[in-house]
Structure 1
Amino acid sequence: MSDAEQRWKHHGVRVIAGDALDSNTPQTPGMFRQAAINHARVGAQKIWAGTVSIEPDAKTGVHHHGALESVIYVVSGRARMRWGDRLEFVAEAGPGDFIYVPPYVPHQEINADPANPLQCVLVRSDNEAVVVNITDVEPVEQPEAVYWVDPIHKHPHD
């Protein structure tokens, strides 16, 4: 096999089986994240992709992700997003729907179902997790039932 063939064989397209996702990611009660595509697994330089399962009624505090763009694909459950300077806008998404979160948009992520988990595929435009907590905006929906807290989403009172 030529050098070029060797290069493409080992550094070309990668398929990550759904049952081979990496749970060696930040984990906390109420949320289970698994990486499929990141720098450590496949050498990705500008993207992170994986799955996330969010417990019923979990809510984040108000935050944004800096310059990162995020895409969320809802596999099952009901997602509610609030956004804006005072979280004055709201939209919900269900199975098969995509959510796009532009850079620097203040938002709150919510599992809108008090009884069932929310299953999503998450894609971000960088490998680094960026979260900027916004403390001067009161969440419209208080994260009181289950705090969605992990190394990326901090407790709203921290």
Structure 2
Amino acid sequence: MADDHPHHADDHTHDERWKHDGVRVIKGDRLDPNTAQTPGMFRQAAINHARVGAQKIWAGTVTIEPNAKTGVHHHGALESVIYVVRGRARMRWGERLEYVAEAEAGDFIFVPPYVPHQEINADPDQPLDCVLVRSDNEAVVVNITDVEPVEKPEAVYWVDPIHRPPE
């Protein structure tokens, strides 16, 4: 019987690779804390290039302590999705952070590219737990220091070489 589907040498290698490197399950207790950290927030990567070879997406978790806030920033061309697992999130955005919205457990937040924003745990007593997904592996964070935020951050500075504190 003739083979109707010609195979190339690469096809076999590709076919075999997906069998072993196809779907990945990342256990919740195996997340990677080796990611940008901010005082009052704890981020962990689940899906990125280093862990699973992801080319176009980053996903992980963030726990934000009560009353913690980021400084004003945006993520360049990246799109971000935040899913609130527990707690109450407040997002401020706009040129003067003049817009505000809150989300609670079960809600999704979408942050478009280049939108200046500030992430806030709106609960003074409980941590905020979220799942975060970004449209690329790049750790793009552009701090904006010339905006007077409506809610001032609590001396929140990025602590890795990519995110330097203001001078």
TM-score (norm 1): 0.89
Residues 9-67 of structure 1, C-alpha deviations (whole Å, 9 max, x = no match) = 22211111112211222334411111110001100001000011111111111111100
1:120 maps to which residue?
130
| Aligned length, in residue pairs | 155
Q: Distance in 1 between matches of 2:18 and 2:67?
A: 45
2:62 maps to which residue?
52
Pair 1:113–1:154, CA change in 2 (3 A): farther
Q: How does 1:1-158 map to 2 (within 5 A)?
A: 3=13, 5-144=15-154, 147=156, 149-151=158-160, 155=165, 157-158=166-167
Q: Distance in 1 between matches of 2:19 and 2:70?
A: 42
Structure 1 unaligned residues grouped into runs of 5+:
none
Is the 2:85–2:130 contact (alpha carbons within 8 Å) kept by the matching residues of 1? yes
Letter in 2 for 1:26: A
Is the 2:36–2:158 contact (alpha carbons within 8 Å) kept by the matching residues of 1? no
SS at match of 1:58: coil
Q: Distance in 1 between matches of 2:76 and 2:98?
A: 20
TM-score (norm 2): 0.85
Structure 2 unaligned residues grouped into runs of 5+:
1-11
Is the 1:74–1:119 contact (alpha carbons within 8 Å) kept by the matching residues of 2? yes
Q: Distance in 2 between matches of 1:126 and 1:91?
A: 25
Q: Distance in 1 between matches of 2:61 and 2:138?
A: 16
Residues 106-150 of structure 1, C-alpha deviations (whole Å, 9 max, x = no match) = 111111111111100000011111111112210100113x62644
Bigger-Rg structure (1/2): 2
Is the 1:31–1:148 contact (alpha carbons within 8 Å) kept by the matching residues of 2? no
User: Shift of the alpha carbon at 1:88?
Assistant: 0.9
Q: Which moved more, 1:67-76 or 1:28-37?
A: 28-37
